[in-house]
A and B are shown apart, each in its own frame.
Chain A
Amino acid sequence: MKALRDPVVLLAAPAVLYLTLLYALPLGWLLAKSFSGPAGLTLQPYTEFFGDPFNWRVIGNTLGSALWVTVVCLAIGYPAGFALARAGTAMQIAMLVAIILPLSVGVVVKAFAWQIVLRRDGVVSQFLVALGIWDEPQRLLFTEAGLVLGAANIFLPFMILPIYSVVKLIDPRLSEAGATLGATPSYRFVRITFPLTLPGVVSGVAFVFSMSVSMYVIPSLLIGDRFQTLSTLTGRSFLFMRNEQLGSTTAVILLALAIAVVVASSWLARRLGSTE
Chain B
Amino acid sequence: MIMAHSSFLDVSGAEKSFGAVTVLGGVDLRVAQGEFVSLLGPSGCGKTTLLRAVAGLLGLDRGTVKLDGEDITAKPPHRRDVGVVFQNYALFPHLTVAENVAFGLKARRRAAAETREAVTQFLELVHLSALADRSVRALSGGQQQRVAVARALAVRPKLLLLDEPFSALDRKLRETMQIDLRRLLRELGTTSVFVTHDQDEALTMSDRIAVMNRGAIEQFDAPEAIYRRPATAFALEFVGLSTMLAGTVTAQDGTTVAVDTAFGPLRAHGNFVPGAKVLLAVRPERIKVEPAGDFAFAARLRDAVFQGSKVQLHFEAAEGDRLMVETADLPHGVPAPGTELKLGWAVADTLIYPAPAS
Which A residues are closer than 8 A to B by beta carbons?
Answer: 171, 173-174, 176-185, 187, 191-192, 195-196, 273-274, 276
Contacts and interface: CB of A to CB of B under 8 A. Distances in A.
A179 B78 contact: yes
B62 to A, nearest CB: 23
B18 to A, nearest CB: 15
Contacts, number: 73
A180 B107 contact: no
Interface stretch (B86-94, B228-236, B261-269, B271-279): B86-94
A274 to B, nearest CB: 8
B75 to A, nearest CB: 11
Interface in B42-56: 55-56
B108 interface: yes
A276 B99 contact: yes
B223 interface: no
B83 A181 contact: yes
A191 B57 CA distance: 19
Contacts of B76: 179
A196 B94 contact: yes
B93 A182 contact: no
Contacts of A181: 78, 83, 103-104, 107, 151-152, 155
Contact of A177 (B82, B86, B108): B86
Size category of the binding interface on chain B? 20 to 34
A184 B78 CA distance: 6
B84 interface: yes
Contact of A191 (B86, B90, B103, B155): B103
B78 A183 contact: yes
Contact of A182 (B57, B88, B92, B108): B108
A180 B158 CA distance: 12
Interface string B140-155: 0000000000011001
Contact of A180 (B82, B88, B94): B82
A273 B103 contact: no
Given A176-B57, A182-B104, A192 B92 contact: yes
Contacts of B91: 177
Given A177-B84, A179-B78, A183-B107, A276 B95 contact: yes
A195 B82 CA distance: 25
Interface centre among B56, B86, B152, B157 (most CB of A within 10 A): B86
Contacts of A274: 94
Nearest to B151: A181
Contacts of B152: 180-181
Contacts of A171: 88, 90
Interface in B150-168: 151-152, 155, 157
A173 B103 contact: no
Interface secondary structure of A, over-half rule: helix
A176 B77 contact: yes
9 contacts: A171-B90, A176-B90, A178-B92, A180-B55, A180-B77, A180-B84, A180-B152, A181-B104, A182-B104
Contacts of A273: 94
Contacts of B106: 191
B103 A178 contact: yes
A173 B86 contact: yes
B349 interface: no
Given A181-B151, A182-B78, A174 B90 contact: yes
Nearest to B84: A180
B303 interface: no
Contacts of B83: 180-181
Given A183-B107, A185-B78, 18 more contacts: A173-B86, A174-B93, A176-B86, A176-B90, A178-B78, A178-B107, A179-B56, A179-B76, A179-B77, A180-B80, A180-B83, A182-B79, A182-B107, A182-B155, A183-B78, A183-B104, A196-B94, A273-B94
Nearest to A174: B90
B221 interface: no
Contacts of B93: 174, 196
B98 to A, nearest CB: 12
Of A179, A180, A192, most buried by chain B (CB within 10 Å of CB) is A180
